[in-house]
Amino acid sequence: MNFAGKVVFVAGGTSGINFGVAEAFALAGAKVAVLSRSPEKVEAAVAALRQHGAEACGHAADVRQYEAVAAAMADTAARWGAIDVLVSGAAGNFVAPAQQLSANGFKTVIDIDLQGCFNVMRAAFAHLRKPGAAVVNISAPQSWLPTPGQIHVCAAKAGIDQITRTAAMEWGPLGIRVNSIAPGPIADTEGMRRLAPTPESERSWREAVPLRRWGAKQEIAKAVQWLCSEDAAYVTGVLLPVDGGWSLGGSSAMVQALGA
């Protein structure tokens, strides 16, 4: 993929899947801006992106703080011009059954994932290239699969997907495409460290994936890049699972009966 000279902004782009996305765009020639709360993570991510020879900049900000996000967008556009690619992936997750989750625990994840995604898109809007920009929101299969211990994440990610579809309709006439990606279990990420903390739970997650393995961060990055490329010029408002078939569900008992 060639994104030479393109301006890419990755919210939550300093670690894990989102950093993998930032890195892939840097390697494809883009100028890459990242944003997250920790100044140390921002500094390290920018240094790593520059090591790839890319122009990179970073902003220490919380997606829950609209003004801080807006300032980061304005700074990026002042530095490099209109934003071609916006990836919104800042998120928080922990496992908690509904009856043990405090009101503030639920609100915290809604505020980071859902309100944060709106803040990022809303603050970016003035600076998005029109026509031509592509937005990708990082969702999760929890958005349509009810998942015990994840009531907060299910609600937040479902909201993100409706933001994606609604913005695709509103911004389509301006030449801005808006899509979501739902990664399955991705190796070496904070998300999976929290969801599958033991070797046993790791194995049972793997066995629930039809392709029988966890995905790699680069596999999510490639899908994001495809959605942002000319090859996907007629694709907007979709939610693309990139999950080895994990979210197909189906009857794992029957798969076991087949000895697969």
The only residue of 88, 93, 119, 164 in contact with ligand COA, by rule CB under 6 A: 93
Would you say the C-alpha torsion 16, 19, 23, 29 has a positive or negative sign? positive
Residue 182's CB is within 10 A of a number of other CB atoms, namely 25
Please report whether residue 137 would count as binding ligand COA according to CB under 6 A: no
The only residue of 6, 7, 8, 17 in contact with ligand NAP, by rule CB under 6 A: 17
The only residue of 21, 22, 167, 192 in contact with ligand NAP, by rule CB under 6 A: 192
Please report whether residue 62 would count as binding ligand NAP according to CB under 6 A: yes
Kindly report the CA angle at 190 between 55 and 166, in degrees rounded to 5? Answer: 70
Scanning 46-54, 69-77, 172-180, 186-194 for contacts with ligand COA by CB under 6 A, the matching segment is 186-194
Q: In what order do the strands lie in the sheet with 239-242?
A: 56-60, 31-36, 7-11, 85-88, 134-138, 177-183, 239-242
Please report whether residue 185 would count as binding ligand NAP according to CB under 6 A: yes
105: partner contacted, choices ligand COA, ligand NAP, none (Cβ within 5-8 A by kind) = ligand COA
Please report whether residue 60 would count as binding ligand COA according to CB under 6 A: no
- Stretch 103-122 residues interacting with ligand COA (CB under 6 A): 104-105, 108
CA–CA separation, 29 and 53 (whole Å): 8
Q: How far is the CB of 90 from ligand COA (least distance, A)?
A: 8
CA–CA separation, 227 and 212 (whole Å): 25
Please report whether residue 218 would count as binding ligand COA according to CB under 6 A: no
Scanning 38-46, 87-95, 125-133, 156-164 for contacts with ligand COA by CB under 6 A, the matching segment is 87-95
Q: Per DSSP, what are the bridge partners of residue 182?
A: 241
Please report whether residue 96 would count as binding ligand COA according to CB under 6 A: yes
Q: How many C-alpha atoms does 224 have within 13 Å on its Cβ side?
A: 31
Please report whether residue 188 would count as binding ligand COA according to CB under 6 A: no
Q: Which two tokens stand for residue 27?
A: 């390697």
Q: Closest Cα partner for 2 from 85, 86, 125, 120?
A: 85
Ranges of beta strands (E only) in the chain are 7-11, 31-36, 56-60, 85-88, 134-138, 177-183, 239-242
Q: Describe the crossing of helices 39-51 and 16-27 by its angle, rounded to 10 degrees.
A: 30
223: partner contacted, choices ligand COA, ligand NAP, none (Cβ within 5-8 A by kind) = none
Please report whether residue 58 would count as binding ligand NAP according to CB under 6 A: no
Scanning 73-81, 85-93, 163-171, 225-233 for contacts with ligand NAP by CB under 6 A, the matching segment is 85-93
Contacting positions for ligand COA (CB under 6 A)? 91-94, 96, 101-102, 104-105, 108, 190-191, 194
Contacting positions for ligand NAP (CB under 6 A)? 12, 14-18, 36-38, 41, 62-64, 89-93, 112, 116, 138, 140, 183, 185-186, 189-192
